Chains A and B, each alone.
Chain A
Amino acid sequence: MTRSNIALLVLIAAVAALPLFGGAYALRLGTIACLYAVLALSWNVVGGLAGYPSFATAAFFGYGAYAAGVLLGHGWPLWAAVASAMLSAFVAAAALGAVLLRLRGHYFAIASLSLAEVLRELVNNATDLTGGGMGLNIPLASGAGIMAEATFFFFAMWGVLLATALMAIIVGGSKLGFALACIRQNETASSMVGLNTTLYKAAAFGLSACFVSAAGGIYAAWVHYIDPSDVFDILYSVKPIVMALMGGLGSPLGVACGAFLYLGLEEVVWRNYIQIHTGVLGLLIVLLLLFLPHGLSSLRPDRLWRRAKHV
């Protein structure tokens, strides 16, 4: 267990203390913070470790939301609905990944981007099952009261975050993480020395999809109403990338910090510039990529010190 992984677990434990401090707003913010961190950490397994520019996060988020939502509508308990969404997402994504991950670079990016479009169209057209464009109402869990329910969903999302972080740490330290790093460095060479690259890439894609769809399932139960344009929003694919870039690609701690920081920025921007919030997000992306390509870790104080000395 490295120092940064311990710091990550401490950070997540600190988030769990949130209900002690605030009311409904803090809980809502905390739930979204956990959701974002789950998306960013899951993206990092494919995008950060293996270096594949995946834009499929929205597809799996929407898939999880709809799979769990439909099952909840049939009277399944929450844990069972989310668990089956996870399991089916893992299987489907690993199978899809084995095909899609043969593509590289731009082609993979486009193929993963279009996954969300395809799923959105399918959901839109399967009106009997999903309500189509009208959206899907998800029954209220219980009459336990607003605060109790908010606390419950906060801890549910937090639990998914903890599981995702443990997954990220385990993957990072395992043979799978090592293989993914090799693939990022030089895929052809890795397969030449006998690495089964297809197997590892598919496993990474599946794992990523599995936790993203768990977050989607909890999200659906939390907001009680989902519609295709909401849960298959392309921004769900792009935001995790921005978070990972902000915190620094590859390291789970950096990515989680990036997610929390991003949420903070988004809250400030949303509140003050509601009309132009996507434009400000775009500006943030451009500035980040032009001036801080390695995320906020390129702002290390010792570097500033060194630069000052040379002047």
Chain B
Amino acid sequence: MQAAQILINALVLGCLYACIAIGFSLVWGVLNVINLIHGSFIVLGAYLAFGLYNALHIPPWYAVIVAAPLFFVLGYLLQRLILNRVITAPVLVTLTLTFGLDLILNNAMIYVFKADYRKLTLTPSLGSASIFDVVVPVDRLIATAAALALTGLLYLLLRRSRIGRAIVAVRLDRDAAVLMGVNVPSIYAIAFGLGAALAGCAGVLMALIFPISPLTSSAYLGKAFVVCVLGGLGSVSGALAGGLLLALVEGVGSTFLGPSHATTLSFVLLIVFLVLRPQGLVGRKGFE
């Protein structure tokens, strides 16, 4: 029965990890930029959900509808105004630039919201569901379902829509996409906006489950990193596979070695994957 519980926990947590990582993976895959602001976007989304619930009693699963356009515009502008100027520069420059932007955003959040941990508490509480001895809180189930829905939505967007095909085309071959009449800077900005929107939505969902503080942003960023490398860069299914694998390894690891070793374990896994299989579990060139 313990095995079933670990498996269910991993399944739930894995979908959430995938949701954290998927916007990060999109930006990395399409723009070839490691977006270090991602973690802070997630925390900002969590604060948005917290504020909306406490001020207007809008539950987080509806707050997603507010967060998505808001973060899209934020990301779009950020890419257009700042990031686009150095998009062709070496890795060091783009990486350091997003780090600088993250310092600004994170410090602003600490200044405005303080570093205290807050918790969004739903009243009345949703309780928990149980089948045999396996127990899952209902709010976690809702967050997981929403995360899966977001992932599916992104997949459909990339698969079916004109803009989505253009994003995949730019990812596959930037120069050929230009020749086919794709406006690459605009696609870059849209992809970054999508990444930010997904981060914001992920944050809204995280607010349902985890405590909120600006200090947690680096933990989210770390998860996004590991999931991307495990699953393979540049695919929706890769993010899902990576998220599930990470959650499983963390769950099994903390059961048998104790919770304090979970992070070490996930980083060891990261290094092993980086060295032995940098393309990840299902990595390939296209993004869909």
CB 8 Å contact bits of B237-270 with A (1 = contact, 0 = none): 0000000000000000000000011011001101
Contacts of B268 on A, CB cut-off 8 Å?
118
Q: Any chain B CB within 8 A of the CB of A293?
A: yes
Whether the pair B271, A114 counts as a contact (CB closer than 8 A) is: yes
Known contacts: A117-B267, A282-B100, A283-B100. The answer to whether A109 contacts B95 by CB under 8 A is yes
Contacts of A277 on B, CB cut-off 8 Å?
107
Contacts of A11 on B, CB cut-off 8 Å?
none
Q: Any chain B CB within 8 A of the CB of A106?
A: yes
CA distance in complex: A286, B37 (Å) = 13
Known contacts: A278-B103, A278-B106. The answer to whether A289 contacts B97 by CB under 8 A is yes
Known contacts: A109-B91, A110-B274. The answer to whether A117 contacts B263 by CB under 8 A is yes
Number of A-B residue pairs having CB atoms within 8 Å of each other in the complex: 114
Q: Any chain A CB within 8 A of the CB of B82?
A: yes
Whether the pair B101, A286 counts as a contact (CB closer than 8 A) is: yes
Task: Tell me the smallest distance from the CB of B198 to a CB of chain A, in Å.
Answer: 19
> Which residue of A100, A107, A111, A279 contacts B108 across the interface (Cβ within 8 Å)?
A279
Question: Which secondary structure dominates chain A's binding surface?
Answer: helix
Chain A residue nearest to B222 in the complex (CB): A117
Q: Any chain A CB within 8 A of the CB of B99?
A: yes
CB 8 Å contact bits of B33-73 with A (1 = contact, 0 = none): 01000000000000000000000000000000000000000
CA distance in complex: A238, B267 (Å) = 20
Task: Tell me the smallest distance from the CB of B86 to a CB of chain A, in Å.
Answer: 6
Whether the pair B102, A282 counts as a contact (CB closer than 8 A) is: yes
Chain A residue nearest to B109 in the complex (CB): A279
Task: Tell me the smallest distance from the CB of A126 to a CB of chain B, in Å.
Answer: 11
Q: Any chain A CB within 8 A of the CB of B104?
A: yes
Known contacts: A103-B274, A278-B106. The answer to whether A293 contacts B267 by CB under 8 A is no
Chain A residue nearest to B100 in the complex (CB): A285
Whether the pair A276, B96 counts as a contact (CB closer than 8 A) is: no
Whether the pair B264, A121 counts as a contact (CB closer than 8 A) is: yes
Whether the pair B275, A99 counts as a contact (CB closer than 8 A) is: yes
Q: Any chain A CB within 8 A of the CB of B76?
A: no
Q: Any chain B CB within 8 A of the CB of A39?
A: no
Whether the pair B93, A289 counts as a contact (CB closer than 8 A) is: yes
Interface size on B, residues (CB 8 A): 40
CA distance in complex: A277, B102 (Å) = 13
Q: Any chain B CB within 8 A of the CB of A216?
A: no
Known contacts: A102-B275, A103-B278, A109-B91. The answer to whether A114 contacts B96 by CB under 8 A is no
CA distance in complex: A102, B277 (Å) = 12
Whether the pair B103, A282 counts as a contact (CB closer than 8 A) is: yes
Contacts of A121 on B, CB cut-off 8 Å?
260-261, 263-264, 267
Q: Any chain B CB within 8 A of the CB of A125?
A: yes
Contacts of B82 on A, CB cut-off 8 Å?
286, 290
CB 8 Å contact bits of A249-285 with B (1 = contact, 0 = none): 0000000000000000000000000011111011111
Whether the pair A279, B111 counts as a contact (CB closer than 8 A) is: yes
Task: Tell me the smallest distance from the CB of A249 to a CB of chain B, in Å.
Answer: 8
Whether the pair B104, A293 counts as a contact (CB closer than 8 A) is: no
| B90, B104, B229, B260: residue with the most chain A Cβ atoms closer than 10 Å | B104
Whether the pair A290, B86 counts as a contact (CB closer than 8 A) is: yes
Whether the pair B100, A122 counts as a contact (CB closer than 8 A) is: no
Q: Any chain A CB within 8 A of the CB of B1?
A: no
Q: Any chain A CB within 8 A of the CB of B92?
A: yes
Q: Any chain A CB within 8 A of the CB of B28?
A: yes
B residues near A, CB below 8 A?
28, 32, 34, 82, 85-86, 89-93, 95-97, 99-108, 111, 218, 222, 225, 229, 260-261, 263-264, 267-268, 270-271, 274-275, 278
A-B contact pairs, 30 of them (CB 8 A): A106-B91, A106-B95, A107-B229, A109-B34, A109-B95, A110-B274, A111-B275, A114-B270, A118-B267, A121-B261, A121-B263, A125-B260, A125-B261, A234-B218, A241-B92, A242-B96, A276-B108, A276-B111, A278-B103, A278-B106, A279-B104, A282-B102, A282-B103, A282-B104, A283-B104, A285-B99, A285-B103, A290-B82, A290-B86, A293-B93
A residues near B, CB below 8 A?
47, 51, 53, 99-100, 102-103, 105-107, 109-111, 114, 117-118, 121-122, 124-125, 234, 238, 241-242, 245, 275-279, 281-286, 289-290, 293
